[in-house]
Chains A and B, each alone.
Chain A
């Protein structure tokens, strides 16, 4: 089932199916000396989130691209940064360009999450770190 970005919560499961528009991309860097990674800002009509592009994905997608993500994962990366990514089992497809509305706030990566006291298997929102991305501030 397709989810909107606002409904996501961090989990170590690759079960996120969604569609978003790429707003911005950062610089591509080498992780562990071999794999390229690139952090980007993506959004839909409900929220934005930081997306981690991996290897060939870094060059394949551009700001303005509408992307479909199948079996993605929303979790903490090596730098303890909360990101959405395709992961090993996920899939990314460019399905269009330009014609998608979006909001930049809230940014799901700029929320601090804590384990649910009633159910330690899931995370709940604890506090807002910033209303928008601090890495990719909104363009006015």
Chain B
């Protein structure tokens, strides 16, 4: 209708005269009310994008540009604020107004702590999509804004997540995964431990509901808490953190004892994580049963730990231990940066993510991510972009502690140990061989160190299942050559600088 009026009068849209006419009484009766509201919206948002409207959601540093997503939530809230107070109309909203209202309510829940319950009630009243759009907004808040969020907003975020579990919202599994990804490995800051604590309490508190609706997310949580426990069990903690550690242990043990089938979902990396907890009494019992009494888990079909070894861990588990921001940076490095131009990026990456000795454990997660969750296309492989093995070589050199370096080497070779064509992916085992081959002759020490480590784990990783591991490593070597990742192993077996002992062992494996 408005367009018709405009055209008839030959008036340009948005001309001031038109706006005046819009609000004059004789025109209002002609105009569709929703169109009028849209006009008001656009008029208001122009006013509201000014400097006076600061974000209550995020801490914004001086000189930091506005975050477009934060801005969109804030604008929706300002626009619809009068409608966010009871009594709420019973009208069914249509898109795009429905989306704007979702944004407005979310901003209300996160920033108006005292009114959060009212906003949630409102949300329950207006929802027509099973909370799908609402949880997608929440995921975006977590993925894009989490580290910048004001402390109170983080509290609200956990609260609203718990509400979303209660109503079995569509997408609540993704939301929980997004939150789990924000738990940082090797980070003992109060904020990180707070998130660990909130999440473990959430998983324990909502156990029944999650088990029924989203059992797979319990496997994800198990993976995360086993991994952070290796941090939390390494240092002596104060009493508050001792409680956190105990809660994490209780959660993990409950999954093992009550829902072992969810442990099996993780695959071989479950054993890798469990190995770092072998000194924790509660997990010693799990170990004993895994190795000696597998039937005690009462899971049909599970009869030996080798079944876990032979099951490849899905890449989504590795993503769980990398924050979205770190993932973006790593993928940029591995798809855009040319070999030879990487030094500054490596320096910045190190400064941001590895700038304290305790943070070093995250290198283990990063290398596992690079091997198993970042598989470059053929175009990238044949370009001059920095290859995965070179980045892993750099990360290995970043390790200052022996036990971390050993763990990094283990994750690099982990899929070699149980390799089975058809089940396993050649891309997971490719970086290790290329790092060994390409380090020759200049970085012979690297090749030597890796090869020595490989033979060490073949002999000692699981003495009772050494044959299985020997078959795995032989198949890995075989497929690497057959698929042309390396033309031959002569470069290793005939290398003068490598110790005869290592060469002999390699020849034996190859035969």
Contacts and interface: CB of A to CB of B under 8 A. Distances in A.
A60 B337 contact: no
Contacts of A140: 340, 343
B337 A94 contact: no
B114 interface: no
A93 B352 contact: no
Contact of B64 (A94, A98, A99): A94
B63 A23 contact: no
Nearest to A23: B344
A93 B328 CA distance: 21
Contacts of B345: 98
Interface string B269-300: 00000000000000000000000000000000
Interface residues of B, number: 20
Given A99-B329, A140-B343, A60 B336 contact: no
A64 interface: yes
A99 B328 contact: yes
Nearest to B62: A60
B336 A94 contact: no
A60 B61 contact: yes
A72 B61 CA distance: 21
B329 A95 contact: no
A63 interface: yes
Nearest to A92: B63
B332 A99 contact: yes
A137 B344 CA distance: 12
B332 A98 contact: yes
A63 B343 CA distance: 13
Given A63-B344, A98-B345, A57 B336 contact: no
Given A63-B344, A139-B344, A139-B347, A98 B329 contact: yes
A7 interface: no
A63 B63 contact: no
Interface string B345-357: 1011101100000
A60 B343 CA distance: 23
A63 B351 CA distance: 10
Contacts of B63: 56-57, 60-61, 92-94
A101 B64 contact: no
Contacts of B90: none
Residue in A61, A97, A99 whose Cβ sees the most chain B Cβ within 10 Å: A99
A103 B93 CA distance: 51
A63 B348 contact: yes
Nearest to A57: B63
Interface in A22-81: 23, 56-57, 60-61, 63-64, 68
Contact of B65 (A23, A56, A63, A93): A93
Contacts of A99: 328-329, 332, 336
A101 B337 CA distance: 7
Interface in B342-377: 343-345, 347-349, 351-352
A92 B65 CA distance: 9
Interface in B397-425: none
A97 B337 CA distance: 14
B457 to A, nearest CB: 34
A68 B329 CA distance: 19
A94 B61 contact: yes
A23 B344 CA distance: 7
Given A23-B344, A139-B343, A139-B347, A64 B65 contact: no
A139 B344 CA distance: 7
A139 B64 CA distance: 27
A139 B328 CA distance: 23
A140 B61 CA distance: 32
Contact of A64 (B336, B337, B341, B352): B352
Nearest to A61: B63
Interface string B52-63: 000000000111
Interface in B304-350: 328-329, 332, 336-337, 340-341, 343-345, 347-349
Contacts of B343: 139-140
Contacts of A95: 65
Contacts of A97: 329, 352
Contacts of B61: 60, 94
Contacts of A61: 63
Interface string B39-69: 0000000000000000000000111110000
A114 B340 CA distance: 34
Interface string B62-80: 1111000000000000000
Contacts of B351: 63-64
Interface in A104-132: none
Interface in A78-96: 92-95
B65 A68 contact: yes
Lowest 4 A-B CB distances belong to which pairs? A64-B348, A93-B65, A139-B343, A60-B63
7 contacts: A57-B63, A64-B344, A64-B352, A92-B63, A98-B345, A98-B352, A101-B336
Given A94-B63, A95-B65, A101-B341, 19 more contacts: A56-B62, A63-B344, A63-B347, A64-B351, A64-B352, A92-B63, A93-B65, A94-B61, A94-B65, A98-B328, A98-B348, A98-B349, A98-B352, A99-B332, A99-B336, A101-B337, A139-B343, A140-B340, A140-B343
